[in-house]
Structure 1
């Protein structure tokens, strides 16, 4: 029944959302004119609107959910979310207990909230993930739905101190990567078969419309865990996430995203912790990443598909996070064809013999794109395996990656960085002769131990200011 109270709440929600959008646009005008990067960061943060929800609660148990870890609760989640959004929004509550489900699709003004001892167990049966418009490794397609998915939504959240368990392991999703390390055996299908990932990339290069890039059953391209696609005003807060099939947090073409206090432990293939892609105004803070791939990887599309979309990722802020295992702490690339700029990283701790680099930029001449204005300060690094800063234009993990799109990398600043063991190199950087990596500054950086100070190829204008490596002040 529609009541005056419901109409009033919906009107307030609509005008509040409108006000947040106008406020954000006005704030961005200020950001553009601010020249000091760290003041610019502060303005960006102030301009990110906060999610706001009604205090109404919709417990999934009231819609038929059973907390036995065996009963499939997909329909209970759907019904609770539908009721919540149709009545002006609020909190969809997951009470303490274990709930098995297929994909969960969020709607406007819905906060999916897990109680402290609640655990959502996601089915490992691909049939429980309907085909949707999504993305795989920087290329759009029609594929299995992400485990939690929202498309074209505003004011949405996943919160609470419960656990999201993808249940991925070597017996299901991970083996699809085609690696013996993750359970794949010769003769078993995987994403590496020619009709799978290779065909998708070829379709994008040939500009086949996304709606005709239909994969899913028989193609072995794993789904993302949580994807907000073309969303605005998003919050992911406090949850613990484990055992992901693929990329874990994936804001895609989204604006005004806050990731706060999330703990991620997942060591599967391509288990990146957080991958903002084609996204702007993203704040990642107070999180812990312990991953099988990059802890945070900022992306903007792969090759032709990235150039087709053409939306750079920018205004990405990382604060007060801890990076444990991973290929890199904060990374840009390799799916980076539309460019990345205005990245700020501060007050983080990175430490593990299984963490390969602290800061990494990876691209190549098939990707192209411009990566610029990367600011890092107040970082404590215990141990990294390879180097403190790695910037390359020759990233080559899937065979030949040579093309006609020479990338640009410029304006990288590291300030007040303390490193105990930097691995093989302080800085490892290689650019093209016709497109050197430009403007790297290390200020107040101390690397107590590293095999070599640097390895540089086609790098222009590198500055060491009050920087000590292996006990020696570096002059360059």
Structure 2
């Protein structure tokens, strides 16, 4: 295929048009490219079938179980007792009224809605010895590690709601320095995650060590996720504000029927992805604000051999009416997608920040492998992004080139009704493989302004523009 990255906004319209005609004369066309309404009908079916949790109309106030909301007393046991009582009574709402609650990790049980009341702030302890080992995951690889701050394993009918604040208390003195970056407080000679990651991935995951024997926690340096429903059914996370996360913020893994509604994530630490559905099915993310230190939303399905071992694609993911501010990407698939991702719907979102790198992003490599298929994006307003409106990179490697024998496949990416004021470096950036090209990418009713280059393309088959303007030029097929 032809790489046309040399055609920037200062090139003539004739040169751009000539390159486009040469490119598309070689492209294999997909039939029925205008079947957009049929595609979006699938979104309606997904949402209609998502089951919200239901709870008994009874409340369990943590103050009645010995909680003290003065910001100094450890409330782990009091909160746990209220959750147990609620579960034993058939479920209901565990309420944390206004005040400051210091606590260790909170573990939810069936039929419990944890309500963080308006004016309440939950401060998760900085004492790492109070974090028990649980079955969790780190960057797409399962292990036994520090408990997530709020955790549920194989539970049904659970929720975290309320207008209060969840504060992970991560900062340049707590959790963040383990990433090994001086920006986040790491000092030469201090411990960092790199040796632990090598042990987990090379000495355990690659060699097929059972998850129960992958013991980390104290003495290792892998940070916990914030909210993790693991293997859960019917989950609601609504309205809470989440700040100062150690690692990934909302991580529904191996879970089904998950609604994330109206939350605000404001956390700029390392790997502070806003919401990462992984091996997840039927996930609806709506009305949220993401202002993050990493991807705002990143859809995942396991890393390398661990993802292939689990072999559960993430599918039926709907993102609507969200605001993305800072982040590496607005809505992202990857890079840990070894089991694949399909059926992603994104609409009615606003993405805008000088610190937002891309709007829509797909990233993997031949070590990760995996597939991404059927991605539908419409009605997006992009104020400013740094690098690209759409980036598909099948050569992703944050620590250098990562190659293996698992050729990734990407197909059927639809963008419709997208308005971009300042697109950064590229309108469309695709870096695929000639032997297994990205297939079928469509832009319809898209207007992109102020990009340095119209696009840069390699390893792509059938890219089609329909009523699309980039830098004032109507791109013809």
Q: Which residue of 2 aligns with 1:167?
A: 169
Is the partner of 1:36 in helix, strand or coil? helix
Q: Which residue of 1 aligns with 2:420?
A: 419
Q: Which sits farther off after the overlay, 34-43 or 373-382?
A: 34-43
- Deviation of 1:156 after TM superposition, in Å, equals 0.1
Q: Which residue of 2 aligns with 1:405?
A: 406
- Deviation of 1:128 after TM superposition, in Å, equals 1.5
Does the CA-based 8 Å contact 2:395-2:401 persist in structure 1?
no
Is the partner of 1:81 in helix, strand or coil? helix
Is the partner of 1:37 in helix, strand or coil? helix
Cα separation, 1, equivalents of 2:192 and 2:296? 24
Is the partner of 1:100 in helix, strand or coil? strand
Is the partner of 2:87 in helix, strand or coil? helix
Q: Which residue of 1 aligns with 2:65?
A: 63
Sort the Cα spacing of 1:165 and 1:400 in 2 relative to 1 into closer, same or farther, 3 A: same
- TM superposition score normalised by structure 2: 0.92
Cα separation, 2, equivalents of 1:421 and 1:104? 43
Does the CA-based 8 Å contact 2:469-2:475 persist in structure 1?
yes
Is the partner of 1:40 in helix, strand or coil? helix
Cα separation, 2, equivalents of 1:140 and 1:419? 39
Q: How does 1:262-411 map to 2 (within 5 A)?
A: 262-411=263-412
- Deviation of 1:400 after TM superposition, in Å, equals 3.6
- TM superposition score normalised by structure 1: 0.92
Q: Deviations over 1:373-417 (max 9, x none)?
A: 000000000000000000011000123411000100111000000
Q: Deviations over 1:132-173 (max 9, x none)?
A: 000000000000000000000000000000000001000110
Q: How does 1:3-82 map to 2 (within 5 A)?
A: 36-82=38-84
Is the partner of 1:251 in helix, strand or coil? coil
Give structure 1 stretches of 5+ with no counterpart: 1-33
Cα separation, 2, equivalents of 1:223 and 1:269? 12
Cα separation, 1, equivalents of 2:416 and 2:228? 33
Does the CA-based 8 Å contact 2:311-2:339 persist in structure 1?
yes
Q: Which residue of 2 aligns with 1:120?
A: 122
Q: Which residue of 2 aligns with 1:431?
A: 432
Q: Deviations over 1:326-363 (max 9, x none)?
A: 00000000000000000000000000000000000000
Does the CA-based 8 Å contact 2:417-2:445 persist in structure 1?
yes
1:179 matched to 2:213? The reply is no
1:150 matched to 2:152? The reply is yes
Is the partner of 2:212 in helix, strand or coil? helix
Is the partner of 1:91 in helix, strand or coil? strand
Cα separation, 2, equivalents of 1:261 and 1:363? 30
- Deviation of 1:433 after TM superposition, in Å, equals 1.4
Does the CA-based 8 Å contact 2:363-2:393 persist in structure 1?
yes
Q: Which residue of 2 aligns with 1:199?
A: 199
Cα separation, 2, equivalents of 1:185 and 1:472? 50
Q: Which residue of 1 aligns with 2:3?
A: none
Cα separation, 2, equivalents of 1:180 and 1:218? 21
Is the partner of 1:343 in helix, strand or coil? strand
Is the partner of 1:250 in helix, strand or coil? coil
- Deviation of 1:35 after TM superposition, in Å, equals 8.5
Cα separation, 1, equivalents of 2:476 and 2:124? 54
1:129 matched to 2:140? The reply is no
Is the partner of 2:337 in helix, strand or coil? coil
Cα separation, 2, equivalents of 1:439 and 1:399? 28
Larger RCO (CA under 8 A, 6+ residues apart): 2
Does the CA-based 8 Å contact 2:333-2:341 persist in structure 1?
yes
Does the CA-based 8 Å contact 2:168-2:244 persist in structure 1?
yes
Does the CA-based 8 Å contact 2:337-2:364 persist in structure 1?
yes
Cα separation, 2, equivalents of 1:274 and 1:126? 24
- Deviation of 1:218 after TM superposition, in Å, equals 1.1
Kindly report the root-mean-square deviation, in angstroms, between the aligned alpha carbons of the 2 structures.
0.9
